[in-house]
Each structure stands twice: as structure tokens, then as C-alpha cells.
């Protein structure tokens, strides 16, 4: 099979295009600790990563037994963005080279808000590649693992789901792609491959530079 098997590549953002997960989860865990809710990084990856912020805040309230301060989410974003800047947020290793070789259309569909995507993609120099092709779960009714965001992105890009391929790093996001009837490639730089395979991902890869050749092979179909 050739790359023409697909008509669209849909990228998740955090942990796929930008190496934001280690920074964002550390800041989130630190702020939860300040509320008295001590959370490990492993727990953050297992229970928060891939979910929209509305879900994460509901989980925090459930675990705390009370609502977090009304300004918690705003302060979390402020501190996270500051950490991205001060620590020099970077694109995922190999992603620029991969994008240079991928000739079919591409877009981004994330659990993050549009402002966050624009900020992180801007810091890493990737925004011009996706400027008018960014889609957020805030634009659909249900967040991941529901398929809504991926179906929405495919529709907006004018490509049938069965002609799309999703690149995801979280089990929650991978579930969303599978539920949408879209081929899913599991990027396992930070996620154990077996966790992605367990939710229906047929092909995993750990180096972004592998992506163009995987697409050319038909994505494991």
C-alpha cells in the first residue's frame, strides 16, 4: 500500500506533536499537592492524560471531596504556560522531519483548548503547519474516549473516517479513534505499547521518524 491509502492524517497534540506531557503533568501534580491531594506522575498519566479539562476537574473534585478553588483552572494554565516557556517546550523528537516527508493533508484534534494548542504549537514552531486545521473537544459535545472530536475533524476536512488515520499517544485518545472507525497509530514514546494495543491499536511506534514509512505501508491495515 502507498500513502494514498489515506486522505488525512489527524494528529493528537500533546505528547504527539509537542513534548508537553512531562511538564504539564508535573505542574498539575504540584498544584494538586498544594490542595492536599498528593498525586504521582504515574497516576497523572493513567487517569488524567487524554481527557478534557472538564473531566479532569470533575475527577479532582471527586478525589478532594470538595470543589477546587474557582481560579484553580486559570492558575493551572498560567503556571503551565509559564513552565512551557521557561523550560523551552520542544516539538517531539523527529516530528518536523516526519511532517516534511508526509505529503497528504494533516490536521490536529486535541482534548486541549484551541488557545493551548496555538500556544504550544507556536512555541515549537509548528503552528504555521496547522494554523487553520486545529480542532478541540470544546467544539464537540463529548470528549475522548467518545469519537466526536475525530469525526468532527474528518468532517471539517472533508475526508471520510475510513480514509483517515489518527496518531495518538494516550489510551483514551486511541479509544476515541477506534470508536470513530478510524485507523489508529499508537505513538509510544511516553506510553507503554501494550496499553495502546489493549484498546484496539493495531500498530505502535516509538520514533516519530518512523511515521512516514508506516503511512506508506498503509498504517498497519
Which residues are the active-site residues?
Answer: 12
Q: Which of 169, 173, 168, 121 is nearest to 146 (CA)?
A: 173
Apex 155 CA angle, 127 and 164, nearest 5: 75
Q: Which residues contact 220 (CB under 8 A, 6 or more apart)?
A: 183, 185, 202, 203, 214
**H/E stretch holding 109:** strand 106-110
C-beta atoms surrounding 85 within 10 Å: 11
Contact partners, residue 171, CB within 8 Å, separation at least 6: 50, 191, 195, 196, 198, 199
First to last CA, the chain: 9
| Cis peptide, bond prior to residue 145, ω within 30 of zero | yes
CA Rg value for the chain: 17
Residue 104 CB-density burial (10 A; 0-12 exposed, 13-18 middle, 19+ buried): middle
Amino acid at each position: 500500500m502507498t500513502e494514498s491509502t489515506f486522505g488525512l492524517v489527524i494528529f493528537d497534540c500533546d505528547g504527539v506533536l509537542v513534548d508537553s506531557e512531562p511538564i504539564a503533568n508535573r505542574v498539575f501534580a504540584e498544584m494538586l499537592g498544594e490542595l492536599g491531594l498528593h498525586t504521582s506522575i504515574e497516576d497523572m498519566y493513567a487517569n488524567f492524560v487524554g481527557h478534557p479539562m472538564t473531566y479532569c476537574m470533575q475527577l479532582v473534585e471527586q478525589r478532594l471531596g470538595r470543589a477546587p478553588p474557582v481560579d484553580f483552572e486559570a492558575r493551572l494554565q498560567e503556571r503551565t504556560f509559564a513552565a512551557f516557556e521557561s523550560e523551552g517546550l520542544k516539538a517531539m523528537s523527529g516530528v518536523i522531519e516526519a511532517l516534511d516527508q508526509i505529503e497528504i493533508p494533516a490536521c490536529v484534534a486535541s482534548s486541549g483548548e484551541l488557545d493551548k494548542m496555538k500556544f504550544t504549537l507556536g512555541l515549537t514552531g509548528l503552528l504555521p503547519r496547522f494554523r487553520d486545521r486545529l480542532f478541540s473537544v470544546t467544539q464537540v459535545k463529548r470528549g475522548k474516549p467518545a469519537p466526536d472530536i475525530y469525526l468532527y475533524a474528518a468532517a471539517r476536512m472533508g475526508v471520510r473516517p475510513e480514509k483517515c488515520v489518527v496518531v495518538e499517544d494516550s489510551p483514551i485518545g486511541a479509544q476515541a479513534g477506534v470508536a470513530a472507525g478510524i485507523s489508529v497509530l499508537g505513538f509510544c514514546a511516553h506510553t507503554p505499547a501494550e496499553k495502546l494495543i489493549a484498546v484496539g491499536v493495531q500498530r505502535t511506534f516509538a520514533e516519530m521518524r518512523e511515521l512516514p514509512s508506516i503511512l506508506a505501508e498503509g498504517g498497519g491495515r
